[in-house]
Chains A and B, each alone.
Chain A
Amino acid sequence: MNAIRNYMDNILKAVTSTAKGMGITLRYWALEPSITVEYPDRLGKGVTAEDLVSERFRGFLGFEPSVCIACLQCQRVCPTDCIKVGTEKRDEVRFITRFDVNQAKCMHCGLCVEECPTEALFFTKRYEGACFDMEGLCFSHVGEPVPAAKRKREDGGQE
């Protein structure tokens, strides 16, 4: 008798659990709205792609030459060697001659941004980088050589 009861229980369980599961999906199918936000449909009318992402979004790297002390930490720490910094000493003043970021190689790990002592390197919210040539993703942030900023700790701090 026990076996028969088990058998019937199994049938009942199969039917009810199937009905329950399909009821849940039916509710989602018919009632719940889709929560996906499609990116190109929301652009225009003053809304740019940058407005759609969150505050801490890791987009392309941005560079502010006026505070860069040319310590080359970012170039050293980069796992993919996508940052190339060139410096030159003219009349006892260090100049930054190049600051190139290859965004095609960058994996947005954020090590360089963490490492940067003066926050000269930071993440922007820009991410629309589609182009027909890989060269289009190599950004030169410094055109004319600019003098590097003074280091803050001249009094025996680590140079």
Chain B
Amino acid sequence: MEQYSAAEKIYELFSEKALALGIPEPVLVIAAYAIPCLVVINLIQGAAGMLTYAERKISADIQNRIGANRVGPFGLIQFLADGVKLFLKEDIIPDAADRKLFKLAPYIVLSSTVLAAIVVPFGGSFIVADLNIGLIFIIVVSSLLVVGFLMSGWASNNKWALLGGIRSAAQIISYEIPTALSLLCIVLITGTFSLQETVMSQGLWPWQWFIFHNPFSFVAFFIFFVSALAEMNRTPFDFPEAESELVSGYNVEYSGMRFSIFFIAEYGSIFIISGLAAAVFLGGGNIGLDPYESPLHMQLLMVGVFFAKTVPLCLVIIWVRWSMPRLRIDQMLTMCWKYFIPIAFACLVATAIWLLVFNGNGIFWRMPAP
């Protein structure tokens, strides 16, 4: 029997013993899915913490400063100290705020990040659920972010927050289109939306990756990367929280742990988007072996390969933030509607023609025999 996810593997491992003990099957199924989900949530938390540290250190290096170096060796556990500080802060809810929406908004933003993590293949058989609509699922849940931002902006009853929320709606909805179109180029090549199968049809070596499949998928990678930056509100597209214009944007009224949930969601989505780019365009954790048949140490090696591709992409995202100034809002929308969408469409059509002409083969990549 083919195994498509860590959850199914856990289910198979424990099903006989649990059913013998009289645990009903639905409980077992829920437990089998809950364990990897908890692992993924904690992975996102850890990744977000380490990314805040990386952000501080890299920004310091670029600006000839030193950065965090007091808590732990090289300041490595600075993010734990920050987390403790945020826990101890007073949780302020403004009188004029819509209390229910105000409390709900951070969780919606965080859940959009965590839901996206479900379908990201972390190498080997380590994937929570290998949905056969994986890429569509990621695009759908990442637009949940808009709901959270608009909700927090509206519920704060603050003009800056509302402006930030409305900007984020305009921005995320526009940039969803080039993101989806550039991912569609790869879907055309593989013929599947499943992320695990997308990874499995690539190889260990760079010329087997989909970024080098044809010239148009090379362009599509950059369009995907830049519009993903815009979709998760990173500088140079951080309009919803433009510090110099909107104080702090949609999260201006938040404090303490609620604020840090927004923060975790932001940095978690950096990790998820990098992981997605690594999996779809850069071969993910593929080392040329079958992820489900190979022994455990090879699977862990695949995880290592996946992280070796994801972490540099995260660092590039941080590097971009400290290089580029923020655009104007009209420049941002011009860039999306006049440049990214036409170019992404052109890439999609050109990839389709390429596949038709070369019978599904890339420059080096060969269609697997059916």
Interface residues of A (CB under 8 A from B): 10-11, 14, 18, 21-22, 24-26, 28-29, 32-36, 38
Contacts and interface: CB of A to CB of B under 8 A. Distances in A.
A35 B64 contact: yes
B356 interface: no
Nearest to A10: B339
B319 interface: yes
A70 to B, nearest CB: 47
Interface of B: 58, 60-66, 69, 319-320, 322-324, 335, 339
Given A10-B339, A11-B339, A22 B65 contact: no
A34 B64 contact: yes
B96 to A, nearest CB: 37
Contacts of B319: 22, 25-26, 29
Chain A at the B interface: mostly helix, strand, loop or mixed? helix
The 9 closest A-B pairs by CB, nearest first: A25-B323, A22-B323, A29-B61, A29-B62, A21-B323, A25-B62, A35-B64, A36-B65, A34-B66
A34 B61 contact: yes
Given A21-B324, A24-B323, A29 B58 contact: yes
A34 B60 contact: yes
A28 B324 contact: no
A151 to B, nearest CB: 52
A141 to B, nearest CB: 36
Nearest to A28: B62
B318 to A, nearest CB: 10
B56 to A, nearest CB: 13
A54 to B, nearest CB: 20
A34 B68 CA distance: 13
12 contacts: A10-B339, A14-B339, A18-B324, A21-B323, A22-B319, A22-B324, A24-B323, A25-B319, A26-B319, A29-B58, A34-B64, A34-B65
B223 to A, nearest CB: 11
Contacts of A14: 335, 339
Nearest to A15: B222
A25 to B, nearest CB: 4
Contacts of B62: 25, 28-29
Contacts of B60: 34
Contacts of A32: 64
